[in-house]
Structure 1
Amino acid sequence: MKQKTTLITIFSLVIILAIILFFHTEEPPAKAVQPRGELSAEINKLLTSEPILDGALAGVSIRSAEDGKLLYEHIGNTRLQPASVLKLFTGAAALSVLGEDYRFTTEVLADGKMNGGTIEGDLFLSGMGDPTLLPADFDEMAKRLKSKGINKVAGDLVADDSWYDDVRYSEDLTWNDEHQYYGSQVSALTASPDEDYDAGTVIVNILPGKKGKAANISLEPETDYVKIINETKTVDSEGEHDVKIEREHGSNSIIISGTIPAGAQKAREWVAVWEPALYAGSLFKKSLEDHGIKVVGKIKTGHAADTMAKLISHSSMPLSELMIPFMKLSNNGHAEVLVKEMGRVVRGGGSWEKGLEAMTSELSRLGIDSKTLVLRDGSGISHANLIPANEITKLLFMAQKEAWFPVFQRSLPVPGVKDRMIGGTMRNRLKEANLKDRVAAKTGTLTGVSTLAGYVETSSGNTLIFSIMLNNLLDDREGRKVEDQIVKILARY
């Protein structure tokens, strides 16, 4: 009888264990834990003693990369402004929805018959979201058209950006940011001046002129799409270097004013253009003419029809490569394009509304509690975006299980590495030799906000996942010092 009772007891324990395992999911525990041990003591001391944090909010979340257990949190379930750390969510969702091999396409179509070497109608440049088009790409397209025997376009050059909607700015972008490279207009047809791929911008180069005269100004790429109004003055070599650049709202008049000392080094600024589709069209027209293809008509916007003859198409780099400039350099334009592309692919509409719906749905599938998120864009530029620190570390834990994780991890900035496409926004931080190759993290900065989230290898060889969100700072740049100190604490753990 005793043996039978023992067997029943063992059998009952096995059943209970099976039930526990059945209902157990791989999602890491979200329940907050009480700070304990040396790790907690050090972080708590820093958070309570650092003057930078007086009157500020500090959300901190630390997890084990191995099992996702929450090791430490400080208001980890409180929604805070993530700034560009939000790009972790956008990048993960895009890799999951679109796939790491996804490419953007640009097409050239003809609305008219070919007569000898002349297109008797309009030529369409149709963009489908590629944020990496360079002047060299337009040259290559023109060269391919020339090889087909095309010498003349009798009609207009039509820039078609209808792949996405016509809303150019996310709803919380301020007018102050309109001319900045990080606030450039989002369009399905756009162009970048160099391999940073700041789409929809031109580079303004400023060199001192003769003393008392205006500075010498040039553009990259060379274009007459923008008009430069030069109100600068070259002053004595000991004078003040104070150059201001603005673009008039609703136009492409770029006003450059202020003083530049004689002998000063060249200043370079990226300035966003108005209506990037027409900008791309103007660069394409220049390439056509440079390759001996005359465009009789003007440049305008329009919508290509499915019945038009497709002459050539151009494919972008795969998303796996685009992730590097996107995340390393924290490119806002890339983030918003990825949001709209997800909306177009999943919800049938290239808009922020459809894109954020698709993004939120995919994040839920990845294990994120989307009810805790407030998402207004994909870049983090909005002060209305809100995410709890614990959800950020949860995302970084869950991402490790995905096939695209190596691409995601490789895209994160690496501290102390001068190469911008490796070190990115962390290249001038955490340069200590003992931290080399042990940290990969995404930065975030807004007025009054500084954030950092990623992975750190501890002195014992384990990996910790961290998220640090500092809000309501008097000086957001000072917040980086606190973040770096916390990362050093974790590295010693």
Structure 2
Amino acid sequence: MIHFIKYPITIFILLFCTFLPYTQVNATTGYQNLPQQLNQVIMKEPTLQGAIAGISVRSGQNGTILYDYQGDVRLHPASNMKLLTAAAALNALGENYTFSTELYTNATELKKSIQGNLYLKGNGDPTLLKKDFESMAMGIERLGVKKIKGNLVADDSRYDHVRYSLDMPWSDETAYYGAQISALTVSPTKDYDSGSIKIKVKPGTKIGEKVKVTVTPKSNYVKLVNHAVTVAKDGKNKIKIEREHSKNTVKIEGTLPLKAKETKEWIGVWEPTLFAATLFRQALAERGITITGKIKTGIVPKQAKLLTKHQSMPLSDLLVPFMKLSNNVHAEMLIKEMGKVKKGEGSWEKGLSVMKSEVAKLGVNPKTMVIRDGSGISHVNSIPANQLSQLLFLVQREKWFPAYLNALPVAGNPEKMVGGSLRKRLKDPSILGKVKAKTGTLATVSSLSGYVTTRNGQTLIFSILLNNMLDETNGKKIEDALVTILANQ
């Protein structure tokens, strides 16, 4: 016989509530109905079963926590880590900070034909383009130099030679978002995907013909092996573009139907330092300037003379492609730059130490976090949502805050450098343009943290971290539903 023990109903209610995630709201804030509205989304969402959510909502005016759902639980932030990196960089380096790329020679005389090496020194500019090398080549041309009897030496010694962050997955090695980190690197386009190339594949003009492949920037540094062919209009688009491990051989395999749209892929190069030097040598050749020697790596000698240099955009402008497009390489270069400037060593170890110190100065507690990189690509990074919302509240008082806010993606704005990674989300007229926030995506992880303007014109600060998702794309729908509730307050 089974015996049932009779307990008062209040005991059962108490026990049930004990196992619900903790939420709170300040009764004097005017958002008394907010927890119920947000809880309805969280509790009824089937894709959150077996997953973990951490959600924090604060008043933008005084920082009061309005809603806390497991807000002190450490969770993987994905690219929301960049919120800390950007704040730390602005605090440590300043919004007007720039990066220089310099050209030196050890030749004793400058004339039409010089005897000596050219030294191309990178100082961490993640926004270099081939056209910037062309401008530097014009500077050499103006000096009357036409021939260099020596080598082109690439100097990337400002940072250490550890190319990948600690937890970089091996499968991301050839991807543009996993490109190697170097103090001397170059981007294919004004999206500034440093250390990578852009590959476009178009169908041929007839069936059986090889597909047409173009690479930006064009060079002989990367070898293309094209085995892909054009098939009938009703054929399948099965293009596969891969770079071989530790090589700069890119293979294009598969099929592309006649009249099909072009396929685009961005691939990280192997050894971006040498790639940059190759492009600079090309730029010199285009101006009729020849180098008789080879491309090598080395360090600028102390007695070398500065010939010309290129200065980057200021950090305030650099933050736009960094944050809007969630550029991983920019994040890691900023980490190393902070390490170099503040501790004399351009390494992840020193740079992450500086980042922790800087966010602590802002009022965030780094002791509650596990921080392994600046981009958020690591699955070891762990941050509580309450700390992210705290950061977003505190940075509002900093003089550089307008640059920080301007760098965040704007919901529903179709312009790439405005809407960024939110340009195709939250497009309903009731919320269009009212959300400025950083997105984040990893396998099983989705995140969104930022600012939302409510119906009555108030600012709410939020951080939503969703982990252990079977499909992280479902996380975007949940985030959008939660933020829409905030906007309609």
Above 0.5 in TM-score?
yes
The corresponding residue for 1:18 is none
Q: Residue 443 of structure 1 contacts residue 451 of structure 1 at CA under 8 Å; is this kept in 2?
A: yes
SS at match of 2:109: strand
1:34 aligns with 2:24: yes
CA deviation vs aligned residue, 1:38-59 (integer Å, no higher than 9, x gap) = 1000111111110110100010
Aligned equivalent of 2:433:
437
Task: Provide the rounded CA distance (Å) in 2 between the counterparts of 1:315 and 1:363.
Answer: 28
Where 2:228 maps in the other structure, the secondary structure is: strand
In the aligned structure 2, how far is the partner of 1:116 from the partner of 1:88? 50
2:80 is aligned to 85
**Is 2:404 the counterpart of 1:408?**
yes
Q: Which residue of the partner structure matches residue 152 of structure 2?
A: 157
TM-score (norm 2): 0.93
State the alpha-carbon separation in 2 of the partners of residues 305 and 467 from structure 1.
49
Aligned residues of 2:451 and 2:462 also touching (Cα < 8 A): yes
RMSD over aligned CA atoms reads: 1.0
1:171 and 2:161 aligned: no
Q: 2:275 aligned to 276, 279, 286, which one?
A: 279
- Matched-pair contact (CA < 8 Å) for 2:150–2:292: yes
In the alignment, is the contact (CA less than 8 A) between 1:60 and 1:469 conserved in 2? yes
TM (norm. structure 1) is 0.92
Provide the C-alpha distance between the structure 1 equivalents of 2:150 and 2:109, rounded to a whole number of angstroms: 12
Going from structure 1 to structure 2, the CA distance change for 1:294 and 1:462 (only over 3 Å counts) comes to same
Residue in 1 that maps onto 2:478: 482
2:90–2:315 Cα contact (<8 Å) kept: yes
Structure 1 residues 33, 290: CA separation in 2 closer, same or farther (over 3 Å shift)?
same
Q: Measure the CA separation in 2 of the matches of 1:478 and 1:326.
A: 25
Distance 1:432 1:297, change over 3 A: same
Partner of 1:339: 335
Q: Distance in 2 between matches of 1:338 and 1:121?
A: 33
Give the deviation of 1:342 after TM superposition: 0.2
Residue 101 (structure 1) aligned with residue 91 (structure 2): no
CA contact (8 A) 2:437 2:448 kept: yes
The residue that corresponds to 2:67 in the other structure is 72
Identify the residue that residue 468 of structure 1 maps to in structure 2: 464
Match of 2:306 among 307, 310, 326: 310
Specify the code of the residue in structure 2 equivalent to 1:433. Answer: P
Q: Could you tell which deviates more after superposition, 213-222 or 402-411?
A: 213-222
Matched, 1:217 2:213: yes
Paired with 1:81 and 1:106, the residues of 2 have a C-alpha distance of 35
Query: 1:248 and 2:244 equivalent?
Result: yes
Show the counterpart of 1:196.
191
- 1:145 counterpart residue number: 140
Structure 1 residue 34: deviation in Å? 2.7
What SS is found at the alignment partner of 1:269?
strand
Q: Report the Cα offset of residue 492 of structure 1.
A: 1.2
Deviations 1:12-67 (A, max 9, x none): xxxxxxxxxxxxxxxxxxxx763573100011111111011010001000000000
SS at match of 2:308: strand
The share of aligned pairs that are identical, in percent, is: 51
Q: Which amino acid aligns with 1:451?
A: S
1:418-441 deviation per Cα after TM superposition (whole angstroms, max 9, x unaligned): 100000000000001121331101
Deviation at 1:96, TM superposition (A): 0.5
Q: Secondary structure at the match of 2:418?
A: helix
Instruction: Write the distance in 2 (CA, Å) between the matches of 1:376 and 1:469.
Output: 18
For 1:118 and 1:327, how far apart are their aligned partners in 2? 45
Counterpart amino acid of 1:34?
A: Q
Counterpart for residue 394 of structure 2: 398
CA deviation vs aligned residue, 1:83-134 (integer Å, no higher than 9, x gap):
0011000000000100000000110000222263122111000000001111
* Distance in 1, Cα, partners of 2:382 & 2:62: 26
Q: Deviations over 1:369-391 (max 9, x none)?
A: 11011111000001010000000
Residue 355 (structure 2) pairs with residue 359 (structure 1): yes
Paired position in structure 1 for 2:15 = none
Could you tell me which amino acid in structure 1 is paired with residue 464 of structure 2? I
Measure, in 2, the Cα distance between the counterparts of 1:62 and 1:118: 66
Look up the equivalent residue of 1:261 and give its one-letter code. Answer: P
| Alignment deviations for residues 258-301 of structure 1 (CA, whole Å, 9 cap, x no partner) | 11111111112111100001000000000001101111011111
CA contact (8 A) 1:459 1:491 kept: yes
Shift of 1:481: 0.4
Letter in 2 for 1:69: T
User: Of 111, 116, 122, which aligns to 1:127?
Assistant: 122
Q: Distance in 2 between matches of 1:325 and 1:164?
A: 22
Q: Distance in 2 between matches of 1:257 and 1:170?
A: 30
Work out whether residues 33 and 70 of structure 1, in 8 Å CA contact, stay in contact via their aligned partners in 2. Answer: no
Structure 1 CA distance, aligned partners of 2:371 and 2:161? 20
Q: Is the 8 A contact 1:160 1:304 kept in 2?
A: yes
Q: Unpaired runs of 5+ in structure 2?
A: 1-21
Amino acid paired to 2:191:
D
Confirm or deny: 8 A CA contact 1:90 1:339 kept in the other structure: yes
Residues 183 and 272, structure 1, Cα contact 8 Å, conserved in 2 = yes
* Mapped partners of 2:377, 2:174: distance in 1: 14
* Code of the aligned partner of 2:345: G
Asked if structure 1 preserves the Cα contact closer than 8 Å seen for 2:197 and 2:216, the reply is yes
2:24 maps to amino acid:
Q
What is the alpha-carbon distance in structure 2 between the residues aligned to residue 476 and residue 166 of structure 1? 34
Amino acid at match of 1:387: I
